[in-house]
A and B are shown apart, each in its own frame.
Chain A
Amino acid sequence: MSPDLPDLPGPTDPSVDRLIRALTADGAADELASRPAALVMFRDSRRRPHRRYSLPMSTAAAAVVVAAGLASAYAAVLPAPVQHFAYRLLAGVGVPDAHYPAEQPGAITVPSTASNSAVTASTIPASSHPAGTPTPNPTQNPVPRQDLVLASAYARITAGGDDILSGRLALGGRAEPGARVRLLEHVDGVAGWRPAGRAVTDRQGDVTFTVQHLTSNASFRLAGPKGATSLPVVVTVIPPVSLHLAAGRKPGTDLLTAVAPFADPGDAVILQKWSGKDWRSVGQHLLNQGHQAYFTVRIPASGGLEFRVVLPPTRRHGRSVSGRVRVAVRPEPAPHPARPRVTRTDPPTLP
Protein backbone atom coordinates (compact mmCIF):
# COMPACT_ATOMS: atom_id res chain seq x y z
CA MET A 1 0.00 0.00 0.00
CA SER A 2 1.28 3.36 -0.89
CA PRO A 3 2.11 5.61 2.02
CA ASP A 4 0.31 8.26 0.03
CA LEU A 5 -2.93 6.41 0.35
CA PRO A 6 -5.58 8.12 2.38
CA ASP A 7 -7.89 5.97 4.36
CA LEU A 8 -11.04 6.31 2.35
CA PRO A 9 -14.38 5.28 3.75
CA GLY A 10 -14.61 2.37 1.40
CA PRO A 11 -12.67 1.07 -1.53
CA THR A 12 -15.71 0.69 -3.72
CA ASP A 13 -17.71 3.70 -2.74
CA PRO A 14 -19.71 4.41 -5.88
CA SER A 15 -20.85 7.81 -4.75
CA VAL A 16 -17.35 9.06 -4.06
CA ASP A 17 -16.28 7.48 -7.29
CA ARG A 18 -18.98 9.46 -9.05
CA LEU A 19 -17.85 12.58 -7.31
CA ILE A 20 -14.30 12.03 -8.52
CA ARG A 21 -15.53 11.35 -12.02
CA ALA A 22 -17.50 14.59 -11.99
CA LEU A 23 -14.51 16.54 -10.72
CA THR A 24 -12.24 15.12 -13.39
CA ALA A 25 -14.69 15.08 -16.28
CA ASP A 26 -13.74 16.43 -19.66
CA GLY A 27 -14.13 20.14 -20.07
CA ALA A 28 -17.66 21.32 -20.72
CA ALA A 29 -18.48 23.71 -23.53
CA ASP A 30 -18.59 26.69 -21.23
CA GLU A 31 -15.27 25.76 -19.70
CA LEU A 32 -13.66 25.59 -23.13
CA ALA A 33 -15.37 28.68 -24.46
CA SER A 34 -12.29 30.85 -24.19
CA ARG A 35 -10.33 28.56 -26.47
CA PRO A 36 -10.03 31.17 -29.25
CA ALA A 37 -8.77 33.72 -26.77
CA ALA A 38 -6.21 31.25 -25.48
CA LEU A 39 -4.99 30.65 -28.99
CA VAL A 40 -4.69 34.37 -29.63
CA MET A 41 -2.80 34.73 -26.38
CA PHE A 42 -0.41 31.97 -27.42
CA ARG A 43 0.15 33.46 -30.85
CA ASP A 44 0.71 36.84 -29.34
CA SER A 45 3.30 35.46 -26.99
CA ARG A 46 5.15 33.87 -29.90
CA ARG A 47 5.19 37.12 -31.80
CA ARG A 48 6.24 39.23 -28.90
CA PRO A 49 9.05 37.82 -26.82
CA HIS A 50 9.15 39.44 -23.43
CA ARG A 51 12.70 38.82 -22.40
CA ARG A 52 15.38 40.80 -24.01
CA TYR A 53 18.09 38.38 -23.09
CA SER A 54 16.17 35.35 -24.27
CA LEU A 55 14.97 36.51 -27.60
CA PRO A 56 13.51 33.58 -29.51
CA MET A 57 14.96 34.23 -32.90
CA SER A 58 14.71 31.75 -35.64
CA THR A 59 17.87 30.02 -36.72
CA ALA A 60 18.04 32.11 -39.84
CA ALA A 61 17.56 35.36 -37.99
CA ALA A 62 20.14 34.33 -35.42
CA ALA A 63 22.58 33.49 -38.18
CA VAL A 64 21.96 36.90 -39.71
CA VAL A 65 22.65 38.62 -36.42
CA VAL A 66 25.79 36.60 -35.72
CA ALA A 67 27.11 37.22 -39.21
CA ALA A 68 26.33 40.90 -38.99
CA GLY A 69 27.91 41.20 -35.57
CA LEU A 70 31.04 39.37 -36.56
CA ALA A 71 31.42 41.36 -39.76
CA SER A 72 30.91 44.51 -37.81
CA ALA A 73 33.42 43.52 -35.16
CA TYR A 74 36.10 42.45 -37.62
CA ALA A 75 35.78 45.54 -39.76
CA ALA A 76 35.59 48.08 -37.04
CA VAL A 77 38.23 50.47 -35.93
CA LEU A 78 37.23 50.38 -32.30
CA PRO A 79 39.44 48.60 -29.79
CA ALA A 80 38.82 44.93 -29.61
CA PRO A 81 37.40 44.84 -26.07
CA VAL A 82 34.91 47.48 -27.00
CA GLN A 83 33.82 45.58 -30.04
CA HIS A 84 33.63 42.37 -28.11
CA PHE A 85 31.55 43.76 -25.32
CA ALA A 86 29.32 45.72 -27.62
CA TYR A 87 28.82 42.66 -29.71
CA ARG A 88 27.96 40.56 -26.68
CA LEU A 89 25.45 43.04 -25.39
CA LEU A 90 23.83 43.97 -28.62
CA ALA A 91 23.84 40.68 -30.41
CA GLY A 92 20.56 39.87 -28.75
CA VAL A 93 18.87 42.78 -30.40
CA GLY A 94 20.76 42.60 -33.64
CA VAL A 95 22.24 46.06 -33.44
CA PRO A 96 25.87 46.16 -34.54
CA ASP A 97 27.86 48.65 -32.61
CA ALA A 98 31.29 49.00 -34.14
CA HIS A 99 30.45 51.43 -36.91
CA TYR A 100 28.70 53.94 -34.75
CA PRO A 101 30.38 57.11 -33.64
CA ALA A 102 31.45 57.63 -30.09
CA GLU A 103 28.65 58.59 -27.81
CA GLN A 104 28.17 62.24 -27.16
CA PRO A 105 27.77 62.84 -23.44
CA GLY A 106 24.27 63.83 -22.58
CA ALA A 107 22.96 63.38 -26.09
CA ILE A 108 20.39 60.65 -26.24
CA THR A 109 19.12 59.58 -29.57
CA VAL A 110 16.32 57.14 -29.52
CA PRO A 111 15.69 55.48 -32.85
CA SER A 112 12.23 56.13 -34.00
CA THR A 113 11.61 52.59 -35.02
CA ALA A 114 11.48 49.36 -33.25
CA SER A 115 14.47 49.41 -31.01
CA ASN A 116 13.19 51.38 -28.12
CA SER A 117 11.77 48.56 -26.12
CA ALA A 118 12.17 44.95 -25.25
CA VAL A 119 8.98 44.25 -27.09
CA THR A 120 10.12 45.42 -30.44
CA ALA A 121 13.78 44.69 -30.30
CA SER A 122 13.47 41.26 -31.79
CA THR A 123 12.02 42.60 -34.99
CA ILE A 124 15.11 44.52 -35.94
CA PRO A 125 17.30 41.87 -37.50
CA ALA A 126 14.89 40.43 -39.96
CA SER A 127 12.76 43.40 -40.88
CA SER A 128 15.10 46.36 -40.83
CA HIS A 129 18.10 44.79 -42.43
CA PRO A 130 17.07 41.83 -44.45
CA ALA A 131 20.35 41.70 -46.26
CA GLY A 132 22.13 40.85 -43.08
CA THR A 133 24.59 43.70 -43.32
CA PRO A 134 23.07 46.28 -41.06
CA THR A 135 25.61 49.05 -41.38
CA PRO A 136 23.58 52.21 -41.35
CA ASN A 137 25.23 55.46 -42.22
CA PRO A 138 25.83 57.22 -38.92
CA THR A 139 24.96 60.54 -40.39
CA GLN A 140 21.61 59.33 -41.59
CA ASN A 141 20.57 57.11 -38.73
CA PRO A 142 22.66 57.83 -35.70
CA VAL A 143 22.40 55.24 -32.99
CA PRO A 144 24.46 55.77 -29.88
CA ARG A 145 26.74 53.06 -28.68
CA GLN A 146 25.18 51.52 -25.63
CA ASP A 147 27.42 51.52 -22.61
CA LEU A 148 24.36 51.11 -20.48
CA VAL A 149 21.64 48.63 -21.30
CA LEU A 150 18.32 47.98 -19.65
CA ALA A 151 15.87 45.10 -20.03
CA SER A 152 12.56 44.33 -18.39
CA ALA A 153 11.55 40.91 -17.18
CA TYR A 154 8.04 41.40 -18.51
CA ALA A 155 6.93 43.64 -21.31
CA ARG A 156 3.27 43.22 -20.31
CA ILE A 157 2.06 42.96 -16.77
CA THR A 158 -1.28 42.95 -15.06
CA ALA A 159 -2.18 46.30 -13.57
CA GLY A 160 -0.98 46.61 -10.03
CA GLY A 161 1.75 44.07 -10.65
CA ASP A 162 5.50 44.33 -10.34
CA ASP A 163 8.21 44.20 -12.95
CA ILE A 164 11.93 43.66 -12.69
CA LEU A 165 14.34 45.82 -14.63
CA SER A 166 17.89 44.65 -15.12
CA GLY A 167 20.67 46.93 -16.26
CA ARG A 168 24.34 46.61 -17.08
CA LEU A 169 26.96 49.32 -17.23
CA ALA A 170 30.15 48.76 -19.22
CA LEU A 171 32.06 51.92 -20.04
CA GLY A 172 34.52 51.43 -22.82
CA GLY A 173 33.75 47.77 -22.95
CA ARG A 174 34.62 47.03 -19.35
CA ALA A 175 32.14 46.36 -16.60
CA GLU A 176 31.87 49.24 -14.21
CA PRO A 177 31.38 48.08 -10.64
CA GLY A 178 30.41 50.49 -7.93
CA ALA A 179 29.02 53.12 -10.27
CA ARG A 180 25.87 55.04 -9.44
CA VAL A 181 23.09 54.73 -11.96
CA ARG A 182 19.66 56.29 -11.93
CA LEU A 183 16.44 54.77 -13.14
CA LEU A 184 14.30 57.27 -15.01
CA GLU A 185 10.62 56.78 -15.65
CA HIS A 186 8.38 58.27 -18.27
CA VAL A 187 4.67 57.76 -17.80
CA ASP A 188 2.50 57.99 -20.84
CA GLY A 189 0.48 61.15 -20.78
CA VAL A 190 2.96 62.91 -18.51
CA ALA A 191 5.70 65.00 -20.07
CA GLY A 192 9.34 64.33 -19.33
CA TRP A 193 11.34 61.80 -17.41
CA ARG A 194 11.40 61.67 -13.67
CA PRO A 195 13.75 59.84 -11.33
CA ALA A 196 12.34 56.55 -10.16
CA GLY A 197 15.27 55.13 -8.24
CA ARG A 198 19.00 54.81 -8.00
CA ALA A 199 21.42 52.00 -7.35
CA VAL A 200 25.08 51.08 -7.42
CA THR A 201 26.37 48.51 -9.89
CA ASP A 202 27.73 45.23 -8.59
CA ARG A 203 30.97 43.53 -9.60
CA GLN A 204 29.65 42.66 -13.01
CA GLY A 205 28.34 46.13 -13.56
CA ASP A 206 24.78 44.96 -13.08
CA VAL A 207 21.88 46.60 -11.30
CA THR A 208 18.37 45.37 -10.73
CA PHE A 209 15.29 47.40 -9.95
CA THR A 210 11.90 46.11 -8.96
CA VAL A 211 9.15 48.43 -10.05
CA GLN A 212 6.11 47.90 -7.91
CA HIS A 213 2.43 48.46 -8.45
CA LEU A 214 2.48 49.63 -12.02
CA THR A 215 -0.95 50.86 -12.97
CA SER A 216 -0.29 52.47 -16.34
CA ASN A 217 2.09 52.08 -19.25
CA ALA A 218 5.53 53.35 -18.53
CA SER A 219 8.94 53.66 -20.13
CA PHE A 220 12.17 53.28 -18.22
CA ARG A 221 15.77 53.98 -18.96
CA LEU A 222 18.99 54.15 -17.04
CA ALA A 223 21.33 57.08 -16.72
CA GLY A 224 24.87 56.45 -15.57
CA PRO A 225 28.17 58.26 -15.24
CA LYS A 226 29.83 60.03 -18.14
CA GLY A 227 26.52 60.60 -19.85
CA ALA A 228 25.85 56.93 -20.39
CA THR A 229 22.20 56.26 -20.97
CA SER A 230 20.25 53.21 -21.97
CA LEU A 231 17.56 52.91 -24.55
CA PRO A 232 14.08 53.10 -23.09
CA VAL A 233 12.19 49.98 -22.17
CA VAL A 234 8.41 50.05 -22.44
CA VAL A 235 6.20 48.15 -20.01
CA THR A 236 2.58 47.74 -21.02
CA VAL A 237 0.02 47.42 -18.26
CA ILE A 238 -3.05 45.27 -18.74
CA PRO A 239 -5.94 46.38 -16.54
CA PRO A 240 -8.28 43.53 -15.61
CA VAL A 241 -11.84 44.03 -16.74
CA SER A 242 -14.72 41.93 -15.48
CA LEU A 243 -18.34 41.60 -16.45
CA HIS A 244 -21.14 41.04 -13.96
CA LEU A 245 -24.71 40.02 -14.54
CA ALA A 246 -27.74 41.24 -12.66
CA ALA A 247 -31.44 41.46 -13.32
CA GLY A 248 -32.41 44.49 -15.38
CA ARG A 249 -34.88 47.11 -14.29
CA LYS A 250 -37.30 46.27 -17.06
CA PRO A 251 -38.85 42.86 -17.31
CA GLY A 252 -37.11 40.61 -19.78
CA THR A 253 -33.81 42.42 -19.52
CA ASP A 254 -30.53 41.85 -17.77
CA LEU A 255 -27.98 44.39 -16.69
CA LEU A 256 -24.35 43.77 -17.56
CA THR A 257 -21.86 45.77 -15.58
CA ALA A 258 -18.30 46.08 -16.80
CA VAL A 259 -15.81 46.90 -14.07
CA ALA A 260 -12.24 47.92 -14.79
CA PRO A 261 -10.73 49.37 -11.62
CA PHE A 262 -7.38 50.23 -13.18
CA ALA A 263 -8.74 51.79 -16.35
CA ASP A 264 -9.56 55.46 -16.50
CA PRO A 265 -12.99 57.04 -16.38
CA GLY A 266 -13.88 57.89 -19.95
CA ASP A 267 -12.17 54.86 -21.40
CA ALA A 268 -14.33 53.03 -23.89
CA VAL A 269 -15.63 49.57 -23.14
CA ILE A 270 -16.97 47.48 -25.99
CA LEU A 271 -19.63 44.87 -25.40
CA GLN A 272 -19.31 41.84 -27.64
CA LYS A 273 -21.71 38.99 -28.28
CA TRP A 274 -20.65 35.48 -29.23
CA SER A 275 -22.23 34.62 -32.56
CA GLY A 276 -21.26 31.00 -32.48
CA LYS A 277 -18.25 31.65 -34.66
CA ASP A 278 -16.75 34.87 -33.50
CA TRP A 279 -17.24 37.85 -31.24
CA ARG A 280 -19.28 40.73 -32.60
CA SER A 281 -19.34 44.17 -31.10
CA VAL A 282 -22.85 45.14 -30.11
CA GLY A 283 -22.39 48.18 -27.94
CA GLN A 284 -20.00 50.65 -26.48
CA HIS A 285 -20.03 52.77 -23.35
CA LEU A 286 -17.54 54.84 -21.45
CA LEU A 287 -16.39 54.01 -17.96
CA ASN A 288 -17.88 56.28 -15.34
CA GLN A 289 -16.10 57.71 -12.32
CA GLY A 290 -16.60 54.41 -10.58
CA HIS A 291 -14.74 52.65 -13.38
CA GLN A 292 -17.94 50.95 -14.43
CA ALA A 293 -20.04 50.83 -17.57
CA TYR A 294 -23.54 49.44 -17.87
CA PHE A 295 -25.21 47.58 -20.69
CA THR A 296 -28.81 46.47 -20.72
CA VAL A 297 -29.49 43.41 -22.84
CA ARG A 298 -32.65 41.56 -23.66
CA ILE A 299 -32.96 38.07 -22.34
CA PRO A 300 -33.55 35.68 -25.23
CA ALA A 301 -36.82 33.78 -25.25
CA SER A 302 -34.95 30.51 -25.42
CA GLY A 303 -31.38 29.41 -25.17
CA GLY A 304 -28.82 31.92 -24.07
CA LEU A 305 -26.43 34.56 -25.27
CA GLU A 306 -22.85 35.01 -24.26
CA PHE A 307 -21.27 38.38 -23.79
CA ARG A 308 -17.91 39.78 -22.91
CA VAL A 309 -16.38 43.21 -22.80
CA VAL A 310 -13.19 44.43 -24.39
CA LEU A 311 -11.17 47.32 -23.06
CA PRO A 312 -9.31 48.72 -26.07
CA PRO A 313 -5.73 49.84 -25.57
CA THR A 314 -5.03 53.45 -24.73
CA ARG A 315 -1.87 55.41 -24.10
CA ARG A 316 -2.10 54.38 -20.48
CA HIS A 317 -2.84 50.68 -20.77
CA GLY A 318 -2.98 47.72 -23.10
CA ARG A 319 -5.95 45.76 -24.38
CA SER A 320 -7.92 43.69 -21.91
CA VAL A 321 -10.79 41.26 -22.29
CA SER A 322 -13.24 40.08 -19.65
CA GLY A 323 -14.48 36.60 -19.08
CA ARG A 324 -17.75 35.71 -20.73
CA VAL A 325 -21.15 35.96 -19.14
CA ARG A 326 -24.19 34.02 -20.24
CA VAL A 327 -27.57 35.71 -20.42
CA ALA A 328 -30.44 33.26 -20.40
CA VAL A 329 -33.86 32.81 -18.98
CA ARG A 330 -33.52 32.01 -15.35
CA PRO A 331 -35.88 29.45 -13.97
CA GLU A 332 -38.38 30.73 -11.54
CA PRO A 333 -37.35 29.94 -8.01
CA ALA A 334 -38.88 26.70 -7.01
CA PRO A 335 -41.52 27.05 -4.37
CA HIS A 336 -40.49 25.79 -1.02
CA PRO A 337 -41.93 22.42 -0.27
CA ALA A 338 -44.96 22.76 1.83
CA ARG A 339 -43.99 22.50 5.41
CA PRO A 340 -46.45 21.14 7.90
CA ARG A 341 -48.01 24.15 9.46
CA VAL A 342 -47.41 24.24 13.12
CA THR A 343 -50.24 25.79 15.01
CA ARG A 344 -49.96 26.58 18.59
CA THR A 345 -52.74 25.18 20.55
CA ASP A 346 -53.69 26.36 23.91
CA PRO A 347 -53.23 23.84 26.61
CA PRO A 348 -56.39 22.09 27.42
CA THR A 349 -58.18 23.62 30.23
CA LEU A 350 -59.78 21.56 32.73
CA PRO A 351 -63.37 22.23 33.21
Chain B
Amino acid sequence: MAPAGLGPVSAVFTRTERRMWEHPDAMGTEADDLDDALVRARSGDETAFLRLWEQLHPRLLRYLRVLGCDEVDDVASETWLQVVRDLRRFKGGAVDFRCWLFSIGRHRAIDASRTRMRMRSRGDLLTAAVAPMAEHNPVEHEVLEGLSTQQAVALVAGLSRDQAEAVALRIIAGLDTTAVAAILGKSPGAVRIALHRGLRVLAADPRIQALEEVE
Protein backbone atom coordinates (compact mmCIF):
# COMPACT_ATOMS: atom_id res chain seq x y z
CA MET B 1 0.00 0.00 0.00
CA ALA B 2 1.55 3.20 -1.02
CA PRO B 3 1.39 5.91 1.56
CA ALA B 4 1.00 9.48 0.56
CA GLY B 5 3.93 10.87 -1.26
CA LEU B 6 6.54 8.91 -3.05
CA GLY B 7 8.00 6.95 -0.19
CA PRO B 8 7.77 3.56 -1.83
CA VAL B 9 9.19 5.01 -4.97
CA SER B 10 12.23 6.09 -3.04
CA ALA B 11 12.51 2.62 -1.68
CA VAL B 12 12.56 1.27 -5.19
CA PHE B 13 15.22 3.77 -5.97
CA THR B 14 17.53 2.42 -3.34
CA ARG B 15 16.78 -1.25 -3.13
CA THR B 16 16.54 -2.39 -6.68
CA GLU B 17 18.90 0.06 -8.24
CA ARG B 18 16.10 1.44 -10.30
CA ARG B 19 15.07 4.98 -9.91
CA MET B 20 11.71 6.57 -9.73
CA TRP B 21 12.13 7.93 -13.20
CA GLU B 22 12.31 4.41 -14.53
CA HIS B 23 8.92 3.59 -13.14
CA PRO B 24 6.22 5.48 -14.90
CA ASP B 25 3.71 3.34 -13.06
CA ALA B 26 5.37 3.79 -9.71
CA MET B 27 2.85 6.43 -8.77
CA GLY B 28 0.00 4.28 -9.94
CA THR B 29 -1.61 3.66 -6.59
CA GLU B 30 -1.50 7.28 -5.63
CA ALA B 31 -2.77 8.26 -9.05
CA ASP B 32 -5.63 5.79 -8.77
CA ASP B 33 -6.59 7.21 -5.40
CA LEU B 34 -6.46 10.70 -6.74
CA ASP B 35 -8.43 9.72 -9.82
CA ASP B 36 -11.21 8.51 -7.61
CA ALA B 37 -10.98 11.58 -5.38
CA LEU B 38 -11.00 13.83 -8.40
CA VAL B 39 -14.15 12.30 -9.82
CA ARG B 40 -15.93 12.60 -6.50
CA ALA B 41 -14.63 16.11 -5.86
CA ARG B 42 -15.98 17.26 -9.20
CA SER B 43 -19.38 16.08 -8.13
CA GLY B 44 -19.12 18.07 -4.93
CA ASP B 45 -17.75 15.54 -2.45
CA GLU B 46 -15.96 17.58 0.21
CA THR B 47 -14.07 14.63 1.64
CA ALA B 48 -12.72 13.80 -1.76
CA PHE B 49 -11.68 17.37 -2.36
CA LEU B 50 -9.86 17.46 0.95
CA ARG B 51 -8.06 14.30 0.00
CA LEU B 52 -6.91 15.95 -3.20
CA TRP B 53 -5.94 19.05 -1.30
CA GLU B 54 -4.03 17.20 1.40
CA GLN B 55 -2.10 15.27 -1.19
CA LEU B 56 -1.21 18.16 -3.41
CA HIS B 57 -1.22 21.32 -1.33
CA PRO B 58 2.04 20.59 0.53
CA ARG B 59 3.70 19.83 -2.78
CA LEU B 60 2.35 23.04 -4.23
CA LEU B 61 3.74 25.04 -1.32
CA ARG B 62 7.16 23.45 -1.74
CA TYR B 63 7.13 24.11 -5.45
CA LEU B 64 6.25 27.75 -4.88
CA ARG B 65 9.05 28.05 -2.36
CA VAL B 66 11.47 26.68 -4.89
CA LEU B 67 10.28 29.38 -7.27
CA GLY B 68 11.23 31.94 -4.65
CA CYS B 69 7.68 33.08 -4.15
CA ASP B 70 7.47 35.64 -1.35
CA GLU B 71 3.88 35.01 -0.40
CA VAL B 72 3.56 31.31 -0.77
CA ASP B 73 0.32 30.92 1.14
CA ASP B 74 -1.40 33.67 -0.78
CA VAL B 75 -0.32 32.35 -4.13
CA ALA B 76 -1.32 28.84 -3.15
CA SER B 77 -4.72 30.11 -2.03
CA GLU B 78 -5.24 31.90 -5.31
CA THR B 79 -4.23 28.76 -7.14
CA TRP B 80 -6.76 26.64 -5.30
CA LEU B 81 -9.38 29.32 -5.70
CA GLN B 82 -9.02 29.07 -9.45
CA VAL B 83 -8.98 25.29 -9.25
CA VAL B 84 -12.21 25.00 -7.29
CA ARG B 85 -13.79 27.62 -9.47
CA ASP B 86 -13.01 25.74 -12.66
CA LEU B 87 -13.12 22.22 -11.29
CA ARG B 88 -16.46 21.45 -12.87
CA ARG B 89 -15.13 22.21 -16.29
CA PHE B 90 -11.92 20.31 -15.79
CA LYS B 91 -11.65 17.18 -17.86
CA GLY B 92 -8.95 14.63 -17.32
CA GLY B 93 -7.50 12.30 -14.77
CA ALA B 94 -5.35 12.78 -11.71
CA VAL B 95 -2.19 13.19 -13.75
CA ASP B 96 -3.79 15.92 -15.81
CA PHE B 97 -5.15 17.52 -12.67
CA ARG B 98 -1.70 17.55 -11.10
CA CYS B 99 -0.29 19.16 -14.21
CA TRP B 100 -3.13 21.68 -14.28
CA LEU B 101 -2.70 22.58 -10.62
CA PHE B 102 1.02 23.21 -10.84
CA SER B 103 0.62 25.07 -14.08
CA ILE B 104 -1.86 27.43 -12.44
CA GLY B 105 0.41 27.75 -9.43
CA ARG B 106 3.30 28.73 -11.64
CA HIS B 107 1.24 31.36 -13.42
CA ARG B 108 -0.06 32.80 -10.17
CA ALA B 109 3.48 32.95 -8.82
CA ILE B 110 4.63 34.82 -11.90
CA ASP B 111 1.67 37.19 -11.58
CA ALA B 112 2.49 37.81 -7.93
CA SER B 113 6.08 38.50 -8.80
CA ARG B 114 5.07 40.99 -11.49
CA THR B 115 2.64 42.71 -9.19
CA ARG B 116 5.30 43.04 -6.57
CA MET B 117 7.69 44.52 -9.10
CA ARG B 118 5.06 46.98 -10.29
CA MET B 119 4.37 48.02 -6.75
CA ARG B 120 7.99 48.57 -6.04
CA SER B 121 8.57 50.51 -9.21
CA ARG B 122 5.60 52.77 -8.55
CA GLY B 123 6.60 53.24 -4.99
CA ASP B 124 3.00 52.77 -3.94
CA LEU B 125 3.81 50.16 -1.41
CA LEU B 126 5.70 51.07 1.65
CA THR B 127 8.46 48.78 2.55
CA ALA B 128 6.77 45.94 4.27
CA ALA B 129 8.16 44.49 7.37
CA VAL B 130 9.87 41.39 6.22
CA ALA B 131 9.98 38.27 8.26
CA PRO B 132 13.43 37.68 9.55
CA MET B 133 15.40 35.18 7.62
CA ALA B 134 15.84 31.86 9.24
CA GLU B 135 19.18 31.42 10.80
CA HIS B 136 21.52 29.60 8.57
CA ASN B 137 22.00 26.09 9.70
CA PRO B 138 25.51 24.85 9.54
CA VAL B 139 26.16 21.53 7.94
CA GLU B 140 26.67 19.81 11.25
CA HIS B 141 23.27 20.86 12.45
CA GLU B 142 21.58 19.57 9.33
CA VAL B 143 23.35 16.28 9.65
CA LEU B 144 22.43 15.83 13.26
CA GLU B 145 18.85 16.86 12.81
CA GLY B 146 18.36 15.03 9.57
CA LEU B 147 17.28 16.59 6.33
CA SER B 148 13.98 18.31 6.79
CA THR B 149 11.62 19.04 3.96
CA GLN B 150 12.27 22.72 4.40
CA GLN B 151 15.98 22.24 4.05
CA ALA B 152 15.54 19.99 1.05
CA VAL B 153 13.39 22.62 -0.61
CA ALA B 154 16.02 25.23 0.16
CA LEU B 155 18.66 23.05 -1.45
CA VAL B 156 16.61 22.72 -4.61
CA ALA B 157 15.86 26.43 -4.59
CA GLY B 158 19.59 27.05 -4.57
CA LEU B 159 19.94 25.56 -8.03
CA SER B 160 19.78 27.65 -11.15
CA ARG B 161 16.28 28.63 -12.13
CA ASP B 162 15.98 26.09 -14.94
CA GLN B 163 17.38 23.26 -12.89
CA ALA B 164 15.33 24.12 -9.83
CA GLU B 165 12.08 24.21 -11.76
CA ALA B 166 12.84 20.98 -13.55
CA VAL B 167 13.69 19.20 -10.32
CA ALA B 168 10.73 20.69 -8.47
CA LEU B 169 8.17 19.85 -11.11
CA ARG B 170 9.61 16.40 -11.70
CA ILE B 171 10.14 15.34 -8.11
CA ILE B 172 8.00 17.54 -5.89
CA ALA B 173 5.07 17.84 -8.27
CA GLY B 174 5.57 14.32 -9.57
CA LEU B 175 5.00 15.24 -13.20
CA ASP B 176 6.52 13.39 -16.10
CA THR B 177 9.03 15.05 -18.36
CA THR B 178 6.53 15.75 -21.08
CA ALA B 179 4.25 17.58 -18.69
CA VAL B 180 7.17 19.49 -17.19
CA ALA B 181 8.28 20.48 -20.66
CA ALA B 182 4.79 21.67 -21.52
CA ILE B 183 4.58 23.79 -18.38
CA LEU B 184 8.01 25.30 -18.85
CA GLY B 185 7.59 25.76 -22.58
CA LYS B 186 10.71 23.77 -23.31
CA SER B 187 11.54 20.60 -25.12
CA PRO B 188 11.54 17.35 -23.15
CA GLY B 189 15.22 17.03 -23.95
CA ALA B 190 16.00 20.38 -22.41
CA VAL B 191 14.04 19.40 -19.32
CA ARG B 192 15.92 16.12 -19.04
CA ILE B 193 19.22 17.94 -19.26
CA ALA B 194 18.20 20.48 -16.64
CA LEU B 195 16.97 17.72 -14.38
CA HIS B 196 20.10 15.71 -14.83
CA ARG B 197 22.36 18.64 -14.10
CA GLY B 198 20.29 19.74 -11.15
CA LEU B 199 20.41 16.35 -9.51
CA ARG B 200 24.11 16.10 -10.15
CA VAL B 201 24.65 19.47 -8.50
CA LEU B 202 22.56 18.37 -5.54
CA ALA B 203 24.42 15.11 -5.21
CA ALA B 204 27.69 16.98 -5.17
CA ASP B 205 26.48 19.46 -2.59
CA PRO B 206 28.63 19.22 0.53
CA ARG B 207 25.55 19.12 2.74
CA ILE B 208 24.27 16.13 0.82
CA GLN B 209 27.71 14.55 0.93
CA ALA B 210 27.79 15.08 4.66
CA LEU B 211 24.54 13.20 4.97
CA GLU B 212 26.07 10.31 3.15
CA GLU B 213 29.02 10.24 5.50
CA VAL B 214 26.75 9.96 8.49
CA GLU B 215 25.03 6.99 6.94
Contact = CB atoms under 8 A, between A and B. Distances in A.
Contacts of B84: 41-42, 45
B98 interface: no
Nearest to A308: B73
Chain B binding surface, main DSSP class? helix
Q: Specify which of A156, A244, A247 lies most central, judged by the most chain B CB atoms within 10 Å of its CB.
A: A244
Nearest to A292: B126
A15 B208 contact: yes
A238 B108 CA distance: 14
A8 B203 contact: yes
Contact of A23 (B49, B50, B88, B156): B156
A334 interface: yes
A22 B78 contact: no
A212 interface: no
Given A16-B199, A34-B73, A54 B88 contact: yes
B199 A38 contact: no
A286 to B, nearest CB: 15
Contacts of A7: 196, 200
A324 B73 CA distance: 8
A346 interface: no
Interface stretch (A86-94, A140-148, A325-333): A325-333
Contacts of B149: 22-23, 25, 28
B124 to A, nearest CB: 7
B73 A323 contact: yes
Interface residues of B, number: 83
B185 interface: no
B57 A38 contact: yes
Contact of B10 (A11, A20, A38, A45): A20
B3 A26 contact: yes
B7 to A, nearest CB: 7
Given A31-B61, A45-B84, A331-B135, A292 B128 contact: yes
Contacts, number: 209
A45 B73 CA distance: 19
Contact of B85 (A27, A45, A290, A333): A45
Interface in A316-342: 321-325, 330-331, 333-334, 337
Contact of B6 (A20, A241, A325): A20
B128 A6 contact: no
B40 interface: no
A11 B17 contact: yes
Contacts of B49: 38-39, 42
Nearest to B61: A31
B195 interface: yes
B125 interface: yes
Nearest to A154: B85
A41 B90 CA distance: 17
A68 B115 CA distance: 48
A99 B126 CA distance: 58
Contacts of A26: 3-5, 58
Interface of B: 3-7, 9-10, 13-14, 17-22, 24, 41, 44, 46, 49-50, 53-54, 57-59, 61-62, 71-74, 76-78, 80-81, 84-85, 87-89, 111-112, 115, 119, 124-126, 128-132, 135, 138, 147-149, 151-153, 155-156, 171-172, 174, 176-177, 188, 192, 195-196, 199-200, 202-204, 208-209, 211-212, 215
Interface of A: 1-2, 4-28, 31-32, 34-35, 37-39, 41-43, 45-46, 49-51, 54, 56, 154, 156, 158, 160-161, 238, 240-242, 244-247, 255, 257, 259, 261, 290-292, 321-325, 330-331, 333-334, 337
List 3 tightest A-B contacts by C-beta distance, closest first: A323-B73, A27-B58, A22-B152
